[in-house]
Amino acid sequence: GLRTHRNELHHALPQATSCSAICVTSVVPHSSIRSMLCSAPMRAVPSARVGNASSSSARRAMTQRADASQRRHLVASRPSLLSACTLARPLQALMPPTRRAQHAHSPRSSHGARCQALVAGDVTEGDKTEGQYLFPVGPGTRMQVTVSDTEVVLTTTVPGDLILHWGLQVKGSEAWYLPEDSRPEGTVQYKDRALQTPLVAADGYSWLRIALPDKPDATALNFVLKDAGDTWYKAEDGSHWSFPLATSGASSPLAAAPQPPAHQAAAAAPAAQSAPTPAPQTTNKSMPPAPTKVQSSTTKSPAAAPNAADKMPMAPSRQPPAVLPVVNVELQNLWAYRMWEEAGGPNRDYDAQQEEFEVGCKNIEKLLMAGYLMEELWASARGITTFPPPDTPPPLAVKDSPTPITPPTTAPPTPGPPNPPVAVRNAVAVGSPRKASADDAPPKQDQQEIPKLPEAAPELCGIKAYIMWEQAGKPNRTSEEEDREYKRAIEELNKELRAGKTLQEIETALKSPAPASSSSSPPSAPAQQAGPEQMWAPGHSAGGRSDVMSWIESNPCAQGTASPDEGIVQKFLNAENNHNEWTLMHRCNLVKDLLKQTMGMQGAQREATLSALYVYMRYSATRALTWQRNYNTQPRQLSGAMDSLTGTLAHLHGEAGTATERWYIRGILSCIGAGGDGQRIRDDILHIMHRHNIKEQKGTWMEQWHQKLHNNTTFDDVVICEAYLAFLKGHGDNGAYWRVMSEGGVTRERLESFARAITLEPEDFPHCRDGLIHDFKEYLKVLKSVHAGTDLEVAANAARNSGLPDHCRGPLDTVLGNRHHPLTAMSAAVQCRAGLRGSMSGNRSLMYLDLSLEDVIRGCAERSASSVDNLETGSQLFAMLLENLCLSVPLNKELCTSMSDWNNLPEHWWGSKGGALQAVSVVDRVRRALGELSDVMTSNLQATAERLGNDLNEVADWQTKLFSEEVVRGSAAFAVSLVCTEMDPMLRQVAEMGAWQIISPGKEAVSVGRVLVIDDLHSVQEEVYPENTVMVCQTVGGDEEIPDGVVACFTPNAPDVLSHVSVRARNCEVLFATCYDSNILNEMRAFDGKMLEVTRSPAGDITFKESTASATSSASKPQSANGGVSSVKMVKPEWCKEYAIGMDAFKKGVVGSKSRNLAELRGRLPEWINLPASVAVPFATFEAVLDDAANSAVKTQLASLYAEVETDLSKLEGCAQVVMQLQAPAALKTALDAEAASAGVPWDSADVGHWDKAFAALKSVWASQYNQRAYLSLRKAGLPHAQLCMAVLVQRVVPADYAFVIHTVNPSSGNTNEIYIEMVKGLGETLVGNYAGRALSAIVQKDNLASPEILSYPSKSVGLFVDETLIFRSDSNGEDLEGYAGAGLYDSVPMDHWEERAVNQQSDQLMQNPELRRQVLELVAQVGAEVEKALGTPQDIEGAVEMTADGPKITLVQTRPQM
């Protein structure tokens, strides 16, 4: 079809009146298309039909689709192709025979023949119609080019994301000229050779508009087309396409229609875009020439300013024309407007507008058939003559309707696509090309003004919809749900208007700013509203791709753990080890029976038993188990057994209760063939031999293989057939034969081990080689249909006949046709897999297709990963492979969330440091998910594989040891890992990260010690090393201790700078750093056991070399922060005799520094920094409760356990459990009731359940003093654990959207002018606790708080959230000692349990709105500056940010001196 700009459609069509066939993409009603394109008298043309639907039904459906499409176009400010209407039959076929005969001899029939060729697809390269060029681009698709003297418009129906590779041809130069000042948006320069510009995708087509530069010597535009999969579309000879450019001053091909060769009459063109050539007998020689410039669709039409040429006399006599001329859309629109005006300007709904437009088109058609000239109709429509003309049929009654608020018809900020014309009146309809001006038709002065939204209506509607979406909890939306939400937003605005609000009031309410900054309010507090960066509109899912999150498995696995059913395991162990006659057929029959027994089990045991059966069948598939032992199996018997087993597997897949069960069943299916028609294996080999006169003669290779096929066919025969084909194609090349054999895992020894051994070399048959190649290709298909169900062609053919969804057929065809174009094949394969997701369960053919597509993706990825040389390509590849992985594993929640994060990265993120940092955060998250997935696979499979491998006599040790590793490496996860590795150095370079991140700088710039390589820090945190040690640690969680004797610690992990292990490293002056380059870490690991000298540069780089220095003994005595013997003293305070106190009593010796600092800050901070209402349980209250008579047994048991801790640290856990058995004295509850009420802390003294939860939280804080990490930390610092005393601070939990920690001196560099900030979503426990991933981190200069520098973006997998409740915070005497960092050693416990939720980091408002992020970080930095100023020393601060309608609300939760 020809797709053109809505007001220029008729110029793109051949103007010859004998056009015999045409396809038009448009939403013009069918009768209007007929009037525009009809090439025979209308009375000779019966009512045409659209497709198989009647004209009226097609028109109704078309109108509905157009309405929805126009609304999306206006709201989202992007083009979209409206619904298509195609004439179903060539108009010539509708003519009477006599007319067809006349038409065939018409002097203009050449034009008609060209149009017939277009419809039939017979288009040659560069096919041209006066400035219109058609290029065949692939089968059944075209590129249409329309050229004017100012611009070029290209449209094409080639599917997918397309890029135009182009340049201008200039006189005297072979090189393409690359204009600088007329490049469309998104254009990049490809070396110095060409420009590459993405086409704009619309509904069913793509388009691009290029403004031509002022380059007089430019003669042509040269181009080729490529898609995202690196498929290039070129001319038939492999060269580029080219079309000439219009010369300056020439008539635009869009402005002047081609003249009929037999009639050189003047072009009748009263409209801005010339009217069509009139019939010969009505041509008026006084008509003005056609204009020479194209009239923009957004400028005023000359119809608004009639000139003298319009006032022409009417024809004295009227005669029906032989053919009707094409009617200009401007005339149709203006005619409909005049009809509406004559009817009194009533309100019309959309259907009524369409109906009115249609009536107007019919009236124009009838007047033309009555002999009226086109000029007369223009004059009448403009009001120069009577409207309507005398012969106009009576008007049709059109029902009035109220006019709802609709988005205005303002032009989008960028040029729109070459859309087809819209069948609505310009003056009143949404989606019209322009608004009718006052000059077109003066409006009625007495007509009541309908309220209209201002020019920013799309923004207002979008903001309203965004707010509604936000209030609903920011759920993921499909495009249909977004449309409905947007319509609801419009309805809400209508209600407000009807309620009496003005548009100004509505706009002000939606865009209300935050309160202005003052001394008592936060500076530059941003309003929480949808700004330009976060505008919501239909088609733009707030959470990225709306379907990815729907892939999360709702029931991934069974609860608990279990072992495989021993009875089932023993059955197949006995069969494998003790049956003398055993084949693959027997194995299939046995597994089928065992599967039925397994599915009768429940929960974890069923999963565990399925895993054992999967391990068993994988040993079989990898040839670890024999396929034939002392028994001959006919092909049909084997295929029958496989068919029965695979059918059972498909059925059980549909009945499986968890995703893990389905994964095991799918894995078993991948280990065996589909079954197919086994008898053909036996029959067809004989047919081939007989057809080519190859005798069944002993002593030949062919006969040996023939005998094997007859008696024991296996998957090996697929490899043998492929090898023999390579042999034949190589003209008897034995090397090719053995190469393919080796690649397929079939050795000479294996061939000779068959019961029907193959010991000879293959024979060549030169006289019939070509025939044999043909026949064995077909025979290979037969073998694969039985033995290789995951072969793509076999699986595709089976799926097409077994319920393959229609939406998967196109992508599948693309995969099959592009296996040598990896990116294209992968993209289509992922799309097809996603489409199969809802249809696959229980369908064997679709399950095999899914497995085959996964194999294709993995193979393409392995070929493509090493060729990734830029982040743009890497990003595309990474996205496809991550999506594929989400579809492949049962535990996919974190992967799907990461995929959603990746989809929400900024567009072209690879072009900036900030974008690359955001990408790094997602890649880090994916890496963690890959590690967890590998751990789960190993945990679920390796123990079973080792047990079965040891008990199965035929399985080799190496096959057992590598089992789970091979499963992981063969999975979709491995391909993602490969691309991560390839992208990593490029990411670090663009993000300016370097290979190292210093967490703790250490005491000296140079550290020397013996290298120790360990797996995880937690396992050695209690060790005391006798000499200085440089530790290379694979895993660091964040809550560990640094062992004594360690002078440097390096890890690939990136713990938060403010995590416990990071603080302890700085406290102990240990060099602690993250290394992002695995090669560097491997070099360091190579020094294991040797002395190493490590140097830290001022720029933050780490270098190292082997040292010749002798080992230096490390002090075995307890160390302080300055390296000497600890001089820190910890004295246990006395009880103040009060069970609970208010803030006025927060004094030294009564409570810890957390409580005291909060009390000291009252009245010393700006009002916008909030302090939570608080009470405290003083020091030694725990001991007082323990001394209560009701707790005497608990006290005795605790003392007994604690006495053994020094020699057995496991007793600490018992101590904590005993503390939880304490009973509360009545005085404790009474005191807390009173103090909470006085302080304004939410407290329900009458609710027994409230008190039970509160006392349980209090006991949990007391019990946390008996944790191993705290005990070891105190012991290392030389502090007696027995002197520890715990106060507890009780506060209302701040409803945090974000939690933050501030160090007012940069802890990594010690720079006193830098404030260091880390921020996470939800509660702060994910920041200070052991939760993997990075926080949003930044440094802010104290003399420039408004310009934070982002160091990392968040990659935490979860956030912690809790409803309104209380939190009980530890406030011990061991947390604020000078020279000792005890922060984070003890627990803070909420009264109600928090909820752990997966978080989409990249779709968060702080990530999507850079300005909002900057302002929030500025506020948080201001908090740090104010607190440090008030207390006079560097501070370690915790707080929360609540996003409100008035802007961010900051609450300071606690602060203590920074260590």
Among the residues of 1016-1089, which ranges form H helices? 1060-1067, 1078-1085
C-alpha span between 1138 and 895 (Å, rounded) = 52
> Residue 240's CB: how many other CB atoms inside 10 A?
18
Residue 1060 among the catalytic residues: yes
Residue 371: which of 322, 319, 323, 326 has the closest Cα?
319
The single residue of 11, 165, 1060, 1303 carrying the catalytic annotation is 1060
Phi then psi for 1371, rounded to 5 degrees?
-145, 65
DSSP letter (8 states) at residue 18: T
CA geometry: angle 1335, 1341, 1347, nearest 5 deg: 75
Compute the distance between CA of residue 467 and CA of residue 1295 in angstroms, rounded to an integer.
20
Task: Find the farthest-apart pair of alpha carbons in the chain and give their distance in angstroms, rounded.
Answer: 123
Start-to-end Cα distance in the chain? 73
Q: Are 1176 and 1151 a contacting pair, CB within 8 Å? A: yes
User: Distance between CA 565 and CA 844 in Å, rounded?
Assistant: 26
For the record, the structure tokens of 104 come out as: 């065939």
DSSP 626: -
Cα dihedral 1420, 1422, 1426, 1432, rounded to 10, equals 90
Can you tell me the distance from the alpha carbon of 984 to that of 1054, in angstroms, rounded to the nearest whole number? 15
Contacts of 1391 (CB under 8 A, 6+ apart): 1250, 1253, 1254, 1257, 1365, 1366, 1367, 1368
Q: Which helix (H) or strand (E) holds 224?
A: strand 218-227
Name 1400's Cβ contacts closer than 8 Å, sequence gap at least 6.
543, 544, 897, 900, 901, 904
Contact 1260, 1366 (CB under 8 A): no
* CA contacts within 13 A on the Cβ side of 465: 29
DSSP 1398-1445: E--STTSHHHH-HHHHHHHHHHHHHHHHHHHHHHSS-EEEEEEEEEET
- In angstroms, how far is CA 1042 from the centroid of its own chain? 39
The whole-angstrom separation of Cα 423 and Cα 682 is 66
Q: Which two tokens stand for residue 1441?
A: 């940010």
The length of the chain, given as a count of residues: 1459
Phi, psi of 7 (to 5 degrees): -95, 10
The span from the CA of 1198 to the CA of 1219, in Å, is 8
Report CA dihedral (415, 416, 419, 424) to the nearest 10 degrees. Answer: -110
Q: Under a CB-based contact definition with an 8 Å cutoff, are residues 677 and 624 in contact?
A: no
Residues 6+ apart with CB under 8 A from 685: 705, 706, 709, 710, 779
Candidates 169, 237, 185; CA nearest to 78 is: 185
Give burial (CB, 10 Å; 0-12/13-18/19+) of 997: middle
CA–CA separation, 923 vs 1401, rounded Å? 12
Which residues, in sequence order, are CB contacts of 554 under 8 Å at separation 6+?
none
* Of 128, 195, 199, 189, nearest in space to 159 by CA: 199
* Residues marked as catalytic: 1060
